[in-house]
């Protein structure tokens, strides 16, 4: 892996949505029913508007020039356990398939960790699909440790 020195990480803008959607649609492991079909764009736009309006959530993109090559989302979690000290949740981490292994994910995660420090978070947490063994090794290399079992319940 070589360092990605020309990567700009910034808050996502509405104009980035097609590229972000394409990242998720290309993911064959996530199985989130993501698609680049035009009739689905309204759903993504509505979600983007909600994320953008939230003071605790931020959607980021990693760009090389004008090209979106990665994305991730952070949510600042504040709960009473731990005396109300915040935690930063990282979700929806994707790197464009043809750009993997170039340090993009590393830079994005380091950006999120720095954001957590700026917010006074006591820890950074994330979940990862059980089938993503390469991603698990990546997160462990960054210093994340496996600590909890995750559960979910699909709602129709």
Confidence band for 2, pLDDT divided at 50, 70 and 90: very low
**pLDDT at position 131 over 90:** no
pTM of the model: 0.90
Give the chain's count of helices (H) and strands (E).
Answer: 4, 5
Average confidence (pLDDT) over 68-92:
94
DSSP conformational letter for 97: G
pLDDT tops 80 at residue 25: yes
Q: Is the pLDDT reported for residue 1 higher than 50?
A: no
- 12-141, CATH topology level: Aminopeptidase (3.40.630)
| Arithmetic mean of pLDDT over the chain | 91
């Amino acid at each position: 892996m070589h360092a990605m020195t020309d990567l700009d990480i910034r808050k996502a803008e509405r104009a980035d949505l097609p590229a972000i959607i394409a990242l998720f649609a290309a993911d064959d492991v996530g199985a989130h029913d993501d698609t680049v079909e035009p009739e689905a764009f309204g759903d993504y736009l509505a979600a983007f508007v909600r994320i953008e309006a939230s003071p605790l959530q931020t959607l980021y993109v990693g760009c090389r020039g004008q090209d979106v090559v990665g994305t991730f989302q952070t949510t600042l979690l504040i709960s009473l356990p731990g005396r109300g000290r915040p935690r930063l949740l990282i979700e929806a981490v994707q790197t464009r398939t043809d750009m993997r292994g170039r340090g993009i994910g590393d830079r994005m995660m380091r950006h999120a960790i720095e954001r957590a420090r700026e917010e006074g978070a006591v820890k950074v947490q994330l979940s990862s699909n059980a089938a993503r063994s390469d991603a698990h090794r990546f997160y462990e290399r960054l210093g994340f440790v496996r600590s909890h079992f995750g559960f979910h319940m699909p709602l129709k």
